[in-house]
Structure 1
Amino acid sequence: MARFEELEVWKRSVRLSIALYQALAPLKDYGFRDQITRAGLSIPSNIAEGYERNSDKELNNFLNYAKGSAGELRTQIYIGIEIGYIEPTTGRQWLTTCEEISKMLYGLMQSIRNRPHEP
């Protein structure tokens, strides 16, 4: 099993989380800012936590949590765009990245489910 730091999905989700923090740092709506940055931070954090667990079942659970956080983040980005907190071009880029991360997580989960289990 690869280290989580080697996974492209983890690297991309870390970069997205950093971008969220940097872009939204000046936002005075602390509730919204904290919620959206927590959702973004949750994606790579759950990937890492799953990889540090001792079973494929636990790993898949945490990858599923990460995928759920990506959906939560997409929702918050849509809202942020509509209320004027997120510039539309940036928001669309983040949405695309979230969707790609979700697909990558799904593929990773499928590959873990389908790999041969040790006796």
Structure 2
Amino acid sequence: MTKVTHFEDLRCWQLARELVRLVFKACEEGKLTKDFETKAQIKKAAVSVMNNIAEGFGRFSNKEFIRFLDFSQSSCIEVKSMTYILEDMDYLSKDKINVIRDKAEETKNSVLSFIRYLRKKESK
């Protein structure tokens, strides 16, 4: 893997950014616009995915970076969980919910893959 010097170059951060964009756009549609608590919670979870990757990147050790990546993947799971609330409350179309759910899963898998890479690199 090429040495990455900017967090913006990380694939997992790029996916997290896409997830944030999807969530924020969804929060401006349908019945979700009126549920301020749910809207705020899913936005915070999505932003946490992206920001924990960036914050971890700025740490001084892979061990600390991995800790922040773990927070990030946990926030992906939170976003995915919240999509079931959106579905159950009929806040968005099933298609839009699935797009968010799939992006959260893709992002989580990318973060976990990066964690495995860093752990393998650390054990050498």
Matched, 1:83 2:83: no
Distance in 1 separating the partners of 2:95 and 2:122: 43
Runs of 4+ in 1 over 3 A off after TM superposition: none
Which runs of 5 or more residues in structure 2 are unaligned?
none
**Which of 38, 50, 67 pairs up with 1:61?**
67
Q: CA deviation at 1:55?
A: 0.5
- Greater relative contact order (Cα < 8 A, sep 6+): 2
Which runs of 5 or more residues in structure 1 are unaligned?
none
Distance in 2 separating the partners of 1:25 and 1:95: 17
Percentage identity across paired residues of the two chains: 26
Is contact 1:43-1:69 (8 Å) kept? yes
Matched, 1:112 2:106: no
Distance in 2 separating the partners of 1:105 and 1:116: 16
Residue 11 of structure 1 aligns to a residue in which SS? helix
Matching residue of 2:20: 17
When normalised by structure 2's length, the TM-score is: 0.89
Superposed CA offset, 1:8-62 (max 9, x none): 1111111210221122135111000000010011001000000001010100000
Q: CA deviation at 1:69?
A: 0.2
When normalised by structure 1's length, the TM-score is: 0.93
Root-mean-square deviation over aligned CA pairs: 1.5
Aligned residues: 118
